[in-house]
Amino acid sequence: MSNINKQKIVDSVPQKGFFGHPKGLFTLFFTEFWERFSYYGMRAILVYYMYYEVSKGGLGMDQTLALSIMSIYGSLVYMSGIIGGWLADRIFGTSKAVFYGGILIMFGHIALAIPGNITLFFVSMVLIVLGTGLLKPNVSTVVGDMYAENDNRRDAGFSIFYMGINLGGFISPLIVGSLMGVSFHLGFGIAAIGMFVGLVMFVLTKKKNLGLAGTTVANPLSPAERKKVFTYIGLGIVVIAVICAIAIPNGYLTFETFVNLIGILGILIPTMYFIVMYRSKKTTSVERSRLIAYIPLFIASVMFWAIQEQGSTILANYADKRTQLDFAGIHISPAWFQSLNPLFVIILAPVFAWLWVKLGKKEPNIPQKFSLALLFSGLSFIVILLPAYFGGTDSLVNPLWLVLSYLICVLGELCLSPVGLSATTKLAPAAFSAQTMSLWFLSSAAAQAINAQIVKFYTPATEMAYFGTVGGASLVLGIILLMLAPKIQGYMKGIR
């Protein structure tokens, strides 16, 4: 998209009206609030739904399998962002992508709300994977579209938006987690209602608040390209269908091969993405340099999210199996621990925003913030190995250990996540704007693809080694990144 077009979009959005930010931020804040409400509500109980016995309303799956599925699911949810980003950039624009995505997500949660069988469970996964791929990266791109290139409210805008995400993520596990004892399906039903409310909000307020933002197609397909692309897509679908038709009945496509396949895709897709963007004629030389700077940031982001996302898999399991749930006179639902991460984000995001301003010239640059994130995430895993170190793995652990671990990880998240969202919109080559946002989410996809491989190493007997190795890897990467920070900053060509 040319700079003139970008400016036209900015001019069409009422520039004030939501905490001194463009009015459209209200619409995007609440759309994403409800989408995350539904997503994190569902994730807070899904893991238990999978491995709880049938007599307790669960599906009675093997526990390691359930943890692995959670990671693969999380990976696919973010991987599908490349489809969502591509469709938005080249076919229908970000606003429509958000709308279609919301519809698919809502039906996904409805499928889980219907008491049924494993088929409905997988149907729901497909719908939510595709729907989130359409909605999540695109709603974030529209946030960036509302600000002029040099508007210094952009970072704060993303921080406010990040609050919306986390408000949704905070409230829903509390509600849905309380209901899971009654019925898992009731909990999933609440998630569906949440997405419905989000969709209504989006549709009712977008025209007035978002102006042209999200309505243009950044890099539309030419008729010739269109023909070629649709032929390739058709062929691709046929090839995949044939492979499945041969592989599944003959037992070649086991869950293990699928996990491995996602693991490979998790690394391969972002690599190809970088290559295509780097080599595109539409990418300028300054943008190329910025793409180079983005690579180490991307790797750091993978490491960070690998730990952060284990909050809803390994640590969720730790909450269920290793933690005293009768504490201070109340019975705690293990799902409630999922509210801790967003709660700390909400409390601490303003503190961090204040801190960065307060530090002024001493504010760490983007690569330095990313390395801090890795140091914190590493530390959060070191902390959670301590209860086993002091007390062994036979007795139940005081829940405050988990609280502390989540808290430390959030300190890292606030150095990386809002910063990364904003940096992505700044570092993106213009022709790939929505797709670069998908690239950012591919770091979460790659992280969880790796998690799906490593969860099998987590058992009570290996608990300390597990947390120590993963946490240690993060600490080491954090130190390396800190040393490389000045060089990376140079490649960013003036972006701060």
The rounded radius of gyration (Å) of the Cα atoms in the chain is 22
**Both tokens assigned to 331:** 């019975």
State the minimum distance, in angstroms, from the CB of residue 493 to ligand GLN: 25
Question: Considering Cα of 154, then 156, then 161, then 162, what sign does the dihedral take?
Answer: positive
CA–CA separation, 162 and 28 (whole Å)? 11
In the complex with ligand GLN, which residue's Cβ is closer, 10 or 142?
142
Q: How far is the CB of 279 from ligand GLN (least distance, A)?
A: 27
Toward ligand GLN, which CB reaches closer, 10 or 470?
A: 470
Total Cβ atoms within 10 A of residue 181: 15
When the beta carbons of 291 and 306 are compared against ligand GLN, the nearer one is 306
Measured from the CB atom, is 10 or 353 closer to ligand GLN? Answer: 353
Helix axes 63-79, 24-51, angle to 10 degrees: 160
Least separation, in Å, of the C-beta of 165 and ligand GLN?
A: 5
Beta bridge partners of 21: 18
Q: Per-residue string for binding with ligand GLN, 384-423, x by CB under 6 A?
A: ---------------------------------x------
> What b/e string do you get for 14-48 counting C-beta neighbours within 10 Å, with b at 16 or more?
ebeebeebbbbbbbbbbbbbbbbbbbbbbbbbbbb
Contact residues for 69 (Cβ-Cβ < 8 A; gap 6+):
50, 61
* Alpha-carbon dihedral angle through residues 245, 248, 251, 254, given to the nearest 10 degrees: 140
Residue 454 has which token pair? 């490593």
DSSP-derived secondary structure for 473-491: HHHHHHHHHHHHHHHHHHH
Comparing CA positions, the residue from 297, 275, 271 lying closest to residue 488 is 297
Q: Which amino acid is at 48?
A: Y
How many chain residues interact with ligand GLN (CB under 6 A)?
A: 6
User: Looking at beta carbons only, is 99 or 158 nearer to ligand GLN?
Assistant: 158
* Cβ at position 461, least distance to ligand GLN in Å: 29
> Which residue's CB is nearer to ligand GLN, number 15 or number 341?
341
Q: How far is the CB of 416 from ligand GLN (least distance, A)?
A: 9
Of 305, 352, 356, 370, which lies in the binding site for ligand GLN, with binding defined by CB under 6 A? 305
Three-state secondary structure call for residue 420 = helix
Q: In angstroms, what is the minimal distance from the CB of 61 to ligand GLN?
A: 24
Residue 83 C-beta: closest distance to ligand GLN, Å: 17
* Residue 493 three-state SS: coil
CB closer to ligand GLN out of 211 and 420: 420
The correct pick among 6, 23, 36, 109 for binding ligand GLN (CB under 6 A) is 36
| Integer Cα distance of 183 and 187 in angstroms | 7
Quickly tell me which residue has 């939510």 as its tokens.
Answer: 128
- The whole-angstrom separation of Cα 380 and Cα 404 is 8
Tell which one of 160, 165, 180, 218 touches ligand GLN (CB under 6 A).
165
To ligand GLN, the closest distance from the beta carbon of 244 in angstroms equals 29
Q: CB-wise, 15 or 444, nearer to ligand GLN? A: 444
According to DSSP, residue 322 is labeled T
**Which residue lies nearer to ligand GLN by CB, 22 or 420?**
420
Minimum Å gap between C-beta 195 and ligand GLN is 14
Q: Is 170 among the residues that bind ligand GLN (CB under 6 A)?
A: no
Examine residue 377 and tell whether it contacts ligand GLN (CB under 6 A): no
Nearer to ligand GLN by C-beta: 36 or 109?
Answer: 36
Task: Annotate each residue in 250-289 with x if it binds ligand GLN (CB under 6 A) or - if it does not, as one string.
Answer: ----------------------------------------
Contact set for ligand GLN, span 440-459 (CB under 6 A): 441, 444
Kind and range of the H or E element at 327?
A: strand 326-327
Cα–Cα distance, 433 to 218 (Å, whole number):
7
Asked if 352 interacts with ligand GLN (CB under 6 A), we say no
User: Which residues of the shown chain bind ligand GLN in the complex (CB under 6 A)?
Assistant: 36, 165, 305, 417, 441, 444
